[in-house]
Amino acid sequence: MDDIKTIQWVNGKVRLLDQAQLPEELVLLEISDHNGIVNAIKNMNLRGAPAIGIAAAFGVVLAVWNVPETDRSGFLVKANKAIDELKATRPTAKNLFWALDKMRNALSRNLNKSIRDLKQALLKEAQEILEDDIQRCKTLGKHGVELLQNRANVLTHCNAGALATGDYGTALGILRAGKQAGKKIKVYVDETRPLFQGARLTAFELMEDGFDVTLICDNMAAFVMQQGLVNIVIVGADRIARNGDVANKIGTYGLAVIAQKHNIPFVVAAPLSTFDFTLETGRDIPIEERAPEEVTKIGAKTIAPEGVKVYNPAFDITPHYLIHAIVTEKGIIKPPFWENIAKLAK
Ligand code: MRU
């Protein structure tokens, strides 16, 4: 994945790798206004909690990039409106709100500057959010290595990799760091219905990096565990409450339940930008519901009778008591999560 970048700022535009077209085609989208970022996040051309936060930060820069240097009130209106619109794209991932709050703070901190310098200050903030995420993932990855056996047979869900972050990844960052540390790693990848982030994205990025990858349908995970084929489950997170409850891609909760049944450690990997210290439990995490067509169709092909009722929650909540450890850039958090997460909030 070294030569493939998820998000880049290039000459006044944002360049995104179009994840909706992977793995068939490697298409780069050049986006020049913030509506393009709004649409790319809503339509999941770019997805994954840290990645949408980073893209949204650059979206704020795009919103003001061409504002004339004399139009201070227009600049402020455009920046604030863009932040509000970007916040409304997807509700669950904390990183989106975290990054946009950082952009709003950067705006307030630099209000005394000229419009030209304000634009540069916002660009610098967005670039720092990107670089900072890459460093967090690398540090988190190193911390997570101690949880891997020398022969690690890992099950992962959705995509918590380089494609979901600035680079390197969270759950997949641990695997990258583990491989570098000389562990022998075999990865089972859940396909991750309805949008197949596991099959399309995780299998792709791990194979690009030469991992031993085996793809399974979501409903095969219990049998794979019963057969003793995996010794750890590692997933990412979209939002983590103060008690350690974790929102992540739909299907994560089911995996945690069956992992417990088979005495397999269930590990979550996430940077602190995913933690929501304002929420006591996962009950209060907003869960996105997406279009019925994501369930009734696979690509262009309809797979269900017309008019069938559909429920399509994009995330679920895994209760803290099913989680063995949460790996962050500040180290590994073990239960009791309430006390140990509180230490990080300081
Ligand atoms: O709907 P998505 O593809 O944005 O969901 C992504 C996930 O659930 C990831 O596991 C999570 O964002 C962590 S990414 C490091």
Q: At what angle do helices 34-42 and 49-65 cross, to 10 degrees?
A: 160
Mean pLDDT, residues 182-196: 98
| Ligand 1 atom showing the smallest separation from residue 49 Cα | 12
User: Which pLDDT belongs to residue 278?
Assistant: 97
Average pLDDT over the chain reads 97
User: Residue 2 — very low, low, confident or very high, per pLDDT cuts 50/70/90?
Assistant: confident
Q: Which residue has the higher pLDDT, 4 or 80?
A: 80
Sign of CA dihedral 193, 196, 197, 198: positive
Ligand 1 atom 15 nearest Cα: 160
Using DSSP's 3-state secondary structure scheme, residue 100 falls into helix
Ligand 1 atom 8 nearest Cα: 249
User: Which pLDDT belongs to residue 320?
Assistant: 98
Is 344 a residue whose pLDDT tops 90? no
| Ligand 1 atom showing the smallest separation from residue 52 Cα | 4
Is 1 a residue whose pLDDT tops 80? no
User: Residue 184 — very low, low, confident or very high, per pLDDT cuts 50/70/90?
Assistant: very high
Element (H, E) at 344: helix 337-345
Rounded-to-integer distance, Cα 43 and Cα 41, Å:
6
Mean pLDDT, residues 219-239: 98
CA angle (31 as vertex; 27, 34 as ends), nearest 5: 140
Is the model's pTM score more than 0.95?
yes
| Distance from Cα 238 to the centre of ligand 1, integer Å | 6
pLDDT > 70 in the chain, percent: 100
User: Which pLDDT belongs to residue 4?
Assistant: 82
pLDDT in tens, 240-286: 999 999 999 999 999 999 999 999 999 999 999 999 999 999 999 99
- Residue 307 class from Cβ within 10 Å (0-12 exposed, 13-18 middle, 19+ buried)? exposed
The pair phi, psi for residue 193, each rounded to 5°, is -65, 150
| Omega cis (within 30) before 336 | yes
State how far the alpha carbon of 281 is from the alpha carbons of 13, 101, 239, 318, in Å. Answer: 39, 22, 11, 11
Q: At what angle do helices 49-65 and 115-144 cross, to 10 degrees?
A: 170
Give the contacts of 132 (CB within 8 A, at least 6 positions apart). Answer: none
pLDDT in tens, 98-136: 999 999 999 999 999 999 999 999 999 999 999 999 999
| Ligand 1 atom showing the smallest separation from residue 171 Cα | 15
315: Cα within 13 Å, side-chain hemisphere: 25
Mean pLDDT, residues 166-178: 98
User: Which pLDDT belongs to residue 3?
Assistant: 77
Question: Which residue type, as a one-letter code, is found at position 2?
Answer: D
Ligand 1 atom 10 nearest Cα: 236
Question: Which ranges of 88-232 does DSSP label H, i.e. alpha helix?
Answer: 94-109, 115-144, 171-180, 203-208, 221-226
pLDDT > 90 in the chain, percent: 98
Ligand 1 first shell, C-beta below 6 A? 47-50, 93, 158, 160, 164-165, 170, 197, 236-238, 248-249, 314
User: Residue 27 — very low, low, confident or very high, per pLDDT cuts 50/70/90?
Assistant: very high
The pair phi, psi for residue 241, each rounded to 5°, is -85, 170
| Distance from Cα 156 to the centre of ligand 1, integer Å | 12
Ligand 1 atom 6 nearest Cα: 48
Mean pLDDT, residues 13-25: 97
* DSSP string for 274-291: GB-TT-SSGGGS---B--
The pair phi, psi for residue 153, each rounded to 5°, is -110, 105
Q: How far is CA 332 from the centre of its chain?
A: 19
Q: Which two tokens stand for residue 225?
A: 């565990």
Mean pLDDT, residues 230-234: 98
State how far the alpha carbon of 320 is from the alpha carbons of 24, 155, 179, 300, 324, in Å. Answer: 37, 19, 28, 38, 8
Token look-up 């995330």 returns 315
Question: Which ranges of 29-114 does DSSP label H, i.e. alpha helix?
Answer: 34-42, 49-65, 72-87, 94-109
Q: What domains appear along the chain, each with residue ranges and CATH number? A: 7-138 (1.20.120.420), 146-345 (3.40.50.10470)
pLDDT in tens, 282-318: 999 999 999 999 999 999 999 999 999 999 999 999 9
Would you name the residues annotated as active-site residues?
238
